[in-house]
Structure 1
């Protein structure tokens, strides 16, 4: 750890949390720029709604990066947030540069955002294991926003070949999820 911190956690726990926060920082920086890649290069139907959605998602993820960096600093750590460090330490795959069609960009972003959400969910559990409710709460708040963004992104695929659910009526979906009646 680079800086003093009087946060009441064992040094080893703070070191592990800082590492986790820096991984999330790198991943969020990478995700921000992947979403901007889609924002700049989307073409096709629904252009403006998707263009604006991508900007909103990118803004959210940029704020997440700032929160991860600040929490790492509060724990006595050093935020590793340069572009080169983000590229090296991100948990995401490289963006598919052949994507141009709106559905292609959406599918890629759904994949990346769902991976980001999984990392956050794992982080929540690790923070609980390390008895750090503050960092756990940060991850929980971020995950809530990420899952809403994921829902918005996935909603753009409903009815397309990508979901395989274009012919299912809402009543069939409800029946699928309803518990069986008692015998």
Structure 2
């Protein structure tokens, strides 16, 4: 009797089927969020205006590049554990938790606040995915996420500090 056929893209892994499915699903959602946040950040980078144009324009470009840099490692991680990753813009749209902003004009302050809040939501999702990885003993994906959480926290910090008004105590 011939052995059962192996799906062509099912990379061997010692993680169980449920672990692979659950982790791949969670990481694919993070990947979709990263692409959506990247596009939103670039949108705001292209459309920012006002007296702090240069500073905000450069900051948003740097942050977009950081976000985009995560996408290949996230997708490759899904493949390394035997999962399939996102394949299209439509797939990203189905999986992302980041809302579009198609407004013709967004104030720089609102841009910064929206990106800060979106990034904080991504951090929460990364922590939840990290917990899932811990449950399934997927230390490599958990480790990758730890670095991404730290980088995202830095982006939130910068967006928060730039957007603050008033006295040093926040009032």
Q: TM-score, normalised by structure 1?
A: 0.83
Aligned Cα RMSD in Å? 1.9
**Residue 126 of structure 1 is aligned with which of 132, 135, 145?**
132
- Tell me by how many angstroms 1:65 deviates: 1.4
- Does the Cα contact within 8 Å between 2:38 and 2:64 map onto a contact in 1? yes
- Tell me by how many angstroms 1:7 deviates: 2.6
- Does the Cα contact within 8 Å between 2:116 and 2:155 map onto a contact in 1? no
Higher relative contact order (CA 8 A, sep 6+): 2
Cα deviation code 1:61-102 (max 9, x no counterpart): 111111110000111112114222111210112225154321
Partner residue in 1 for 2:38: 32
Q: Any unmatched runs of 5+ in structure 1? A: 160-165, 174-183
**Are 1:142 and 2:151 an aligned pair?**
no
Q: Any unmatched runs of 5+ in structure 2? A: 1-6
- What is the CA–CA distance in structure 1 between the aligned matches of 2:97 and 2:78, rounded to whole Å? 18
Change (3 A) 1:102 1:2: farther
What aligned pairs does 1:85-164 form with structure 2 within 5 A after superposition?
A: 85-95=91-101, 97-159=103-165
Q: TM-score, normalised by structure 2?
A: 0.89
